[in-house]
Amino acid sequence: MLDPTQSTSGLHPPSPSSSISSTLMNARDPSSSPELRDTWTPASSCPSPVPSPAGNSPSISPTQPLDSNMPHDPREFVPKSSAAGKEWERQKRIDHADDAAIDRLTSMIGLEEVKWQFLDIKDKVQTCKLQKTDLKDERFNIVFQGNPGTGKTTVARIYAEFLKSSGLLPSSNLFETSGAKLAYQGADFTEKLIKIDIVEKGGGVLFVDETYQLTAPHASAEGRRVLDIILTEMENNIGKLVVIFVGYNKEMESFFEHNPGLSSRIPYTLQFTDFDDVELWSILCDLIQRKYEGNMEVERGMSGLYMRVAIRRLGRGRGIRGFGNARAVQNLLAKISGRQAKRIAEERRNGGNPNYFFFTKEDLIGPPPTKAFQSKAWTALKELTGLEAVKKSAECMIDMIVTNYERELSEQKPFQFSLNRVFFGSPGTGKTTVAKLYGQILADIGLLSNGEVLIKNPSDFIGECLGKSEAKTRAILGATIGKVLIIDEAYMLNNSGAGAQHDTYKMAVIDTIVAEIQSVPGDDRCILLLGYEDKLRDMFQNVNPGLSRRFAIDNPFRFEDFNASQLIEILKLKMKDQGISATPSAMEVAFQMLDRAQMRPNFANGGEVDMLIATAISNYQNRQSSEPFEERATDGLFEPVDFGPEFDRNVEAIANCRRQLDGKVENKIIDKLEDYLRIAHSAKRGNMDPRLVVPTNFVFKGPPGQCRPLSNFKKTKPAFTPIQHREDSTAVQSCIGD
**pTM for the model:** 0.70
What is the CATH number for 356? 1.10.8
Q: Is the pLDDT of residue 31 over 70?
A: no
What gap in Å lies between CA 238 and CA 229, rounded to an integer?
A: 14
Least Cα distance to 453 among 429, 475, 478, 434 occurs for 434
Percent of the chain at pLDDT exceeding 70: 81
Residues 182 and 150 in one domain: yes
Whether residues 168 and 253 share a domain: the answer is yes
Best CA proximity match to 660, nearest among 717, 704, 618:
717
Task: Specify whether 325 is located in the same domain as 288.
Answer: yes
pLDDT at 731: 63
450 and 335 Cβ atoms separated by less than 8 Å: no
Q: How far apart are CA 645 and CA 637, in angstroms?
A: 16
pLDDT at 20: 33
**Predicted pLDDT at 676:** 81
Q: CA–CA distance from 165 to each of 3, 154, 358, 683 (Å)?
A: 22, 17, 45, 96
Interval 369-397 mean pLDDT: 91
Rounded to whole angstroms, the Cα distance separating 712 from 694 reads: 18
Q: Residues 439, 541: one domain?
A: yes
Domain boundary among 209, 241, 272: 272
**Residue 63 in domain:** no
Say whether both 288 and 301 belong to one domain. yes
Asked whether residue 513 falls in the same domain as residue 437, the answer is yes
Query: Closest by alpha carbon to 506, among 539, 550, 552?
Result: 539
Residues 418 and 553 both lie in one domain: yes
Question: Please, is 536 exposed, middle or buried when counting C-beta atoms within 10 Å of its C-beta (0-12, 13-18, 19+)?
Answer: buried
Instruction: Indicate which CATH number applies to the domain containing 141.
Output: 3.40.50.300
Write the burial class of residue 260 (CB in 10 Å: 0-12 exposed, 13-18 middle, 19+ buried): exposed
HEC string of 191-252?
Answer: HHHHHHHHHCCCCEEEEEECHHHHCCCCCCHHHHHHHHHHHHHHHHCCCCEEEEEEECCCCH
Verify that 361 and 268 share a domain, yes or no: no
Question: Of 243, 272, 301, which residue sits at a domain end?
Answer: 272
DSSP code per residue over 313-357 = HHHTTTTSTT--THHHHHHHHHHHHHHHHHHHHHHHHTT----TT
CA-based Rg of the chain, rounded to a whole angstrom? 36
CATH number of 621's domain:
1.10.8.60
The segment with the largest mean pLDDT, out of 234-248, 311-325, 518-532, is 234-248
Residue 395 lies in a domain: yes
Write the pLDDT tens digit of every residue in 414-434.
Answer: 888 888 999 999 999 999 899
Q: Report how far residue 320's alpha carbon sits from residue 338's, in angstroms, rounded to the nearest whole number.
A: 26
Out of 141-155, 443-457, 616-630, 649-663, least confident range: 649-663
Q: Using the predicted structure, report yes or no on whether residue 446 has a pLDDT greater than 70.
A: yes
Residues 636 and 657 reside in one and the same domain: no
Q: 291 versus 672: which is more confidently predicted?
A: 291
CB distance 213 to 474 below 8 Å: no
Averaged pLDDT, 668-680? 81
Cα 146 to Cα 249: distance, rounded to the nearest angstrom: 7
Q: Is the pLDDT at 724 greater than 60, yes or no?
A: no
Q: Give the Cα separation of 251 and 666 in Å (integer).
A: 80
Q: What is the pLDDT of residues 209-243, one digit of tens each?
A: 989 889 877 667 888 999 999 999 999 999 999 99
What whole-number distance in Å separates Cα of residue 406 and Cα of residue 246? 41
DSSP string, 518-543: ---TT-S-EEEEEE-HHHHHHHHHHS
For the stretch 96-151, pLDDT in tens is 999 999 999 999 999 999 999 999 999 999 999 889 888 888 999 999 998 889 99
What number is the average pLDDT over the span 712-738?
Answer: 55
Specify which of 22-26, 81-85, 728-732 reaches the highest per-range mean pLDDT.
81-85
Which residue would you say has higher pLDDT here, 1 or 258?
A: 258
pLDDT of residue 720: 53
The pLDDT score that the predictor gives to residue 254 is 77
pLDDT at 23 over 90: no
* Residue 421 DSSP label: E
**Predicted confidence band of residue 260 (pLDDT cuts 50, 70, 90):** confident
Residue 57 lies in a domain: no
Check pLDDT > 70 for residue 660.
yes
Residue 194 lies in a domain: yes
Please state the rounded mean pLDDT for residues 724-737. Answer: 59
The CA–CA distances, whole Å, from 185 to 190, 191, 214, 441 equal 7, 11, 12, 46
Query: Is residue 605 a part of any domain in this protein?
Result: yes
* Residue 444 falls inside a structural domain: yes
On whether both 509 and 619 belong to a single domain, the answer is no
Domain end point (choices 329, 348, 365):
365
Q: Are residues 411 and 550 in the same domain?
A: yes
CB 386 within 8 A of CB 82: no
pLDDT at 497 > cutoff 90: no
User: What phi, psi does 281 have (nearest 5°)?
Assistant: -65, -45
- Continuous segment of H or E residues that includes residue 271: strand 268-272
The letter for the amino acid at 345 is A
| 152 lies in some domain | yes
Position 2 pLDDT exceeds 60: no
Is the model's pLDDT at 59 over the cut of 60? no
Question: Are 425 and 534 part of one and the same domain?
Answer: yes
In terms of Cα–Cα distance, which of 113, 95, 193 is closest to 155? 113
Mean pLDDT, all residues of the chain: 82
Q: Return all residues near 415 (Cβ < 8 A) that are at least 6 apart.
A: 400, 403, 404, 407, 521
Closest CA to 428 of 523, 535, 567: 567
More confident residue, 692 or 637: 637
Q: Find how far residue 83's CA is from the centre of its chain.
A: 38
56 lies in a domain? no
pLDDT exceeds 60 at position 18? no
Between 667 and 410, the higher pLDDT residue: 410
Average pLDDT rounded to a whole number, residues 706-731: 50
What's the pLDDT score for residue 735? 67
Count the domains in the chain. Answer: 5
Query: For the segment 351-377, what is each residue's pLDDT rounded down to a tens digit?
Result: 999 999 999 999 999 999 998 888 899
Report the pLDDT value the prediction gives residue 11, as an integer from 0 to 100. 47
Contact in structure between 539 and 403 (CB atoms under 8 Å): no
H-helix segments, 582-666: 584-597, 606-625, 640-643, 653-661
**Residue 166 lies in domain:** 83-272
Give me the mean pLDDT over the 79-108 stretch: 93
